[in-house]
Amino acid sequence: MNGEDLRDEYIEALLDRITSVRYPSHELIGRAEKIVYKQEQAERLVRYLISTVDEVQYPSHQIMDRVERILFAYPGRPYKQRI
């Protein structure tokens, strides 16, 4: 197993933890937001965040901000392209 495989394994474990509970900690979501580096990982995180926005009448502005940061890249963002 190489470094990239270990990174992927860690990110998948983190995403599994986030998506398996109703109210994941904002710290875990923040960590995932900062370290996802593959499009598939970012898409998985964004799909989950969008579903949480979709499920409530008054969505969290922090969650909406996270979605926008990931979807609408800004200078310095680790992704080379938008999702």
Domain boundaries, the chain: 3-71
Q: What is the pLDDT of residues 27-74, one digit of tens each?
A: 999 999 999 999 999 999 999 999 999 988 999 899 999 999 888 866
d(CA 8, CA 12): 6
- The pLDDT confidence band at residue 2, using thresholds 50, 70 and 90, is very high
Q: What CA–CA distance (Å, rounded) separates 57 from 53?
A: 8
The rounded distance, in Å, linking the Cα atoms of 49 and 23 is 11
pLDDT for res 83:
55
CB 49 within 8 A of CB 66: yes
What the block records as the tokens of 23 is: 């109210």
Q: Whole-model pTM?
A: 0.81
C-alpha–C-alpha distance, residues 56 and 71, integer Å: 21
